[in-house]
Structure 1
């Protein structure tokens, strides 16, 4: 079995429903520099998200999210099942808009014959109405978990503002997928260059999010949570040893770093997992290193489809080409997603 653990979904009908589209665009928090607009002209109609204004970060293209096309591409890639996610805009959507998106994903899941399994989107501030939507999605609609963003405004997930939401998710024992935000909170030096902003910026956001979860009391407060971070946690494998230094074997006059007596590594091992957000851009050497550092049982294959179709269509073959055991490849291509998202 092969599972794409990161397939994007967006409601196609929004492009043709002007009233709903206007409502969606109006919810964008312009006061925080997020600008959303409809773009028509050459090529497909797009909903473009700029963050900050003038710097495109997300593009939803009409026709990219048709069920028959998505299923056909899954067939061509040899992908059996897909985890559906909303790409980014859930950072600021109202509960009413989240419900509309959740209903749309549920309809796709039913029409796919179970090949698609969604993750619920909800506002991060929580509360009784949000709790009810989580219960509806997980218990009634059969969703596999909940999707959040790495930060909201200037606050990362360890902030006490989100405690009501995480208390509910911890009670449910839910797997939570944490998607990168287009740019990290501190991003001014990254804005001018597109690839630096759109690729490296996402990695900075994820590494910051993972680090804050590790070093705070986040998992002491929510001991039943499992978080799956996109973009391999921003490439966290490259600096994991640096972030979790062992006590010095030499006597230093000044202790400049917080050393790990085992608790931080335990949090990393028990609570944090990492989705590739497409394999090919990392390259074989980096992916093999990630497995060596983090373990194949902590890494999940995903594609960010339909951002680039080759990431889906050629992705399974790329993972199978890695110099890893067949068991490790199976874990990344299906086993880990089945376990974390409780797929039959």
Structure 2
């Protein structure tokens, strides 16, 4: 991997120092994990080892909205300007998904415009839910209408379930997968994939349970309960391979997803270097046609991110 940098990593996180300090002041963890230390040098080291040419950076859960609109707007602007500076200082190696301020829709619209038009963001990152309001909710539609008008890429990252975790099971272990599945079903059943056809929505971690449970959930994703319609809607999502390239998970993803809508993900640094490399090696070892491997590593995401071409 180290001598063949080719991959486009759409699931790579950043942790700006001021953002990390802000989370620490609020006593916030990320899905049960401590906030990791981040540096561009550390990211580039991981990328060299994993064969990653370009990483699209994003802020992970809990995002920037902890209950105060003004604080969220200020922090969103700070992390987006930090990300844009990283991209400028490392030409070709990084892009970024803009952090927005949901459930503050007006703030999200303003920050999306600034990030996409002024800072050159490659898309936006949205959490699956913010304090129980899931993607698919009618309150978020003004933002989705604007993002669809812009033909934007939307990276969907899991959040914590709006329910207490099971003692001893941190949210990142299983709740994140369920949260992604909940958001995907809600977006599909509310018709977002029909009303916003120009959005490119990437689901994290292989889409949670969607590939595995598609036949079970498809009927509620269709307005008339039609199985085929529900499956077709769910297959319009894009998927990343972050922590999902095992011999157990990857066959389900490849059997379900449109092969032109799968991309590589590392989940670094929330997945430490060795964990990220473990899943990259599993993907390398998995038997598949060369053309499919090239598409997952790079080709599919080149179409979404012009700066990577």
> TM-score, with normalisation over the residues of structure 1?
0.78
The yes-or-no answer on 1:83 pairing with 2:56 is yes
Aligned equivalents of 2:232 and 2:129: distance in 1?
Answer: 24
In structure 2, the CA distance between the partners of 1:127 and 1:214, relative to structure 1 (3 Å rule), is: closer
Mapped to 1, the partners of 2:230 and 2:89 lie a distance apart of 43
Alignment of 1:152-301 (within 5 A): 152-181=130-159, 183-185=160-162, 187-188=163-164, 190-195=165-170, 197-244=171-218, 259-260=225-226, 262-270=228-236, 272-280=237-245, 283-301=246-264
Match of 2:273 among 309, 318, 325: 309
Mapped to 2, the partners of 1:88 and 1:230 lie a distance apart of: 12
* Aligned position for 2:34: 59
Alpha-carbon shift at residue 308 of structure 1 (Å):
1.9
Q: Separation in 2 of the partners of 1:126 and 1:173?
A: 21
Aligned pair count?
A: 295
2:205 touches 2:244 (CA, 8 Å); kept in 1?
Answer: no
User: Which residue in 2 is equivalent to 1:147?
Assistant: 125
| Residue ranges of structure 2 left out of the alignment (5+ in a row) | 1-5, 67-71
Match of 2:8 in 1: 3
- CA distance in 2: counterparts of 1:176 and 1:119, whole angstroms: 8
8 Å contact 2:219–2:230 — kept in the other structure? no
- Which string of whole-angstrom CA distances, capped at 9 and with x for unpartnered residues, describes residues 305-336 of structure 1? 01221243344432121121111112221122
1:126–1:225 CA distance, 2 compared to 1 (3 A): farther
**Is the CA contact 2:206–2:244 (under 8 Å) kept in the aligned structure 1?**
no
Note if contact 1:245-1:260 (Cα within 8 Å) is conserved in structure 2.
yes
The separation in 2 between residues aligned to 1:171 and 1:14, in whole angstroms, is 30
What CA distance in whole angstroms lies between the structure 2 residues aligned with 1:14 and 1:298?
32
1:321 pairs, out of 285, 290, 304, with 285
- 1:30 aligns with none
Contact 2:100 2:107 survives alignment (8 Å): no
Q: 1:192 to 1:258 in 2, by over 3 A?
A: farther
Deviations along 1:283-319, whole A, 9 cap, x unmatched?
2132022101223322222111012212433444321
Give the SS at the match of 2:276: helix
Kept after mapping to 1: 8 A contact 2:128/2:180: yes
Report the aligned-residue RMSD: 2.5
CA contact (8 A) 1:296 1:328 kept: yes
Shift of 1:10: 0.8
Does the CA-based 8 Å contact 2:14-2:59 persist in structure 1? yes
1:68 to 36, 41, 52: 41
1:80-108 CA distance string (max 9 Å, x none): 11010101121525111000000111111
Which has the greater radius of gyration? 1
